[in-house]
Amino acid sequence: MRKSIAAAGAAVVLAGLVGAAGPASAAAAQPCKPALTALGALSGAEVSWPSEGVRALGRGALSVGSSRGRAVYWTGTTVHRVPVPDAARAEGELVGVNQGGLMTGWYRPYGSTDQIGFTYRAGDASVTPLPDATRSVAGLKVNDAGRVAAAGYGDHSVRVFADGVVERTLALPAELGPDAYVATVGGINSRGDVVASVHRAEPDTGGRVEYSHPVVWPGDGSPARVLPQAGGGGNYSWVTGISTAGTVVGSDWYGPGYEWTPWVWTAPYDAPGASRSPGRLGTHPYASLEAIAPGTDTAVGTARFHPDDTGPGKADQAVLWPGSGPLLALPRLAAGQASAAVAVSDDDRAAGSAVNASGKTRAVVWKCASHQAYLPS
C-alpha cells in the first residue's frame, strides 16, 4: 500500500513539474540563470564510476539514470527508485525518456547475467518488459512519438516497438556481410530515423580484426545508409545520437592507442564536409560526443585522458559543442575532479556525472549549459 501511495505521489509531483515548464514562449521570456546542480542519491555505498548519473533528460525538471547502480528518475533533485522486480537488489538504469514521460531502461535480476529491457511511466506499479527482452542490452532509445528502438548486443537486426509491439524490424545492410551484428543503438529521432553502430569482422584475419560502421535506417522505410567511417584513423566509429534534422554524433576510436575523436555526420551524409570532427579540447588528448539535442543540434560529451594517465590535472571533463566552432568545457562540480556529460536537451540543459570535493560521484544537471560553457586557456 505504501508503495502505491509513494508511486502516486511521485506521479503528482512529476505532473506538476512537467506542467510547470509552460509554453515555449513563456520559457523564452524567463532570464537564463546558469547553475550546476547535484541531484539526490539512493542510500548505500557507491558502486563504480559512473554508476551515479543522469542518462537522459525529460520535460521540465524530469531526468532519468542510475543511483547506486539502480534504475532511478529525478523530479527536480528528488530521487525515485523504479519498481523493477526485486528492486532492492536488481542492478539497472534508465537510459531514455521522451517529452511525454515514457522512460526506457534495463535491469539485471540479482545473481543473473541477463538484462531485461523495459518501459516505465512515473506512478506505474511496475515496469513493462519489452517482448523477448532477456538479453545483453545494446541500446534502448525512445522518441517523442513513443517508439522504442532496441537491440541486444550481437543481434542481427534492430527492432522498433510501438506500445510494446514490434512495429519495424530493421535488417543490417547486406554490404556489411552475413556476420555483421549490432554493437550499440545510438538513437531514434521524431521522424523515426534510427542510428546504430554495427560491427563486422575482417574475413582475411579470420575474424580477429573488427570494424564498426554507423548505420542509419530512415523512418520513411527507404534503404539503410552505411555512413562513412570517421576519419580519425580508427577501426571503430561509434554513434550515440541523432537529431530531428538527421545530424548524427559519435566518436572515432582507435583501440591500441585509446584515441577518442569526436565526430559528426550531417544529412544528407554524402555532401562535401558532411563527415567531420569538431576537434578536441586543448587541455585533453582525447574526447567523445555522447548525445545531441533533438532540435538545436547542440551536443555534449567528455574530454578524456587515458585511464592509465592519472595524477593532478588528469581528470576527465564534461564538454559541450554548440553545433559550430570549437569544443567547449563545462564547469566541474569541484576543482580537479572528473565530470562527464551524456545528455542534452533543447531547453539548454546538459546532464551526466561529476565528482564532488569529497570524492563522491553525483548525478548532475547543468542548467543554461551554453551560458556556462567556456574555452579553456
pLDDT digits 0-9 by tens, 207-265: 666 889 999 999 999 999 999 988 766 678 999 999 999 999 999 988 777 899 999 99
Q: Is residue 54 part of a domain?
A: yes
Q: How distant, in Å, are the alpha carbons of 5, 52, 57, 349 from that of 353?
A: 30, 7, 13, 14
For 73-86, what is each residue's pLDDT tens digit? Answer: 999 999 999 999 99
Q: Is residue 210 part of a domain?
A: no
Q: Is residue 107 part of a domain?
A: yes
Q: Give residue 315's pLDDT.
A: 96
Q: Give residue 201's pLDDT.
A: 81
Q: Is residue 78 part of a domain?
A: yes
Q: Which domain holds residue 121?
A: 1-14+36-133
**What average pLDDT score do residues 39-66 get?**
92
Average pLDDT, whole number, for the chain? 89
Query: Model confidence at 321, in pLDDT bands (50, 70, 90)?
Result: very high
**What average pLDDT score do residues 127-139 get?**
82
Take residue 105 and report the three cell numbers written for it: 531502461
Query: Is the pTM for the entire model greater than 0.85?
Result: yes
Q: Give strand pairing partners of 329.
A: 319, 374
Report how many domains make up the chain.
1
- Please report the beta strands in 202-247, taking only residues with DSSP state E, as ranges in sequence order: 210-217, 225-226, 236-242
Task: Name the more confident of 39 and 229.
Answer: 39
Q: Is residue 221 part of a domain?
A: no
Q: Is residue 143 part of a domain?
A: no
Q: Is residue 363 part of a domain?
A: no
CA separation for the pair 287, 252 (Å, rounded): 9
Q: By the 8 A CB rule, do 317 and 338 touch?
A: yes
Q: How distant, in Å, are the alpha carbons of 93, 140, 189, 262 from that of 117?
A: 10, 7, 19, 28
In this predicted structure, the answer to whether residue 61 has a pLDDT above a threshold of 50 is: yes
Q: Is residue 43 part of a domain?
A: yes
